[in-house]
Amino acid sequence: MSGNTAMLNAETIRVEAPVEKQPRVRQKNKKIIDAKSKVFCEIKRVPGISVFAIIGTLIISVLMVFVVLAQVSYNEAASEAVRLSAHLRELTEMHRTLELAFESSIDIKEIERVARDELGMSRPDTAQIISITTTPRDTATVVVDDTGRGLQGFTDFIKSLTEYFRK
Give the tens place of pLDDT for each residue, 73-110: 999 999 999 999 999 999 999 999 999 998 888 888 88
20-48: per-residue pLDDT in tens? 444 454 555 666 666 655 555 555 666 77
pLDDT at 18 over 80: no
CA atoms within 13 A on the CB side of 159: 6
> CA-CA distance, 29 to 22, in Å (whole number)?
10
What does the pLDDT read at residue 158?
A: 82
Residue 5 β-bridge partners: 16
Q: How far is CA 102 from the centre of its chain?
A: 49
Q: Do 44 and 51 form a contact (C-beta atoms < 8 A)?
A: no
pLDDT at 144 over 70: no
**Amino acid symbol at 130:** I
56 vs 165: which has the higher pLDDT = 56
17 vs 108: which has the higher pLDDT = 108
For residues 137-149, give the mean pLDDT: 69
Q: How far is CA 77 from the centre of its chain?
A: 15
> CA-CA distance, 110 to 52, in Å (whole number)?
86
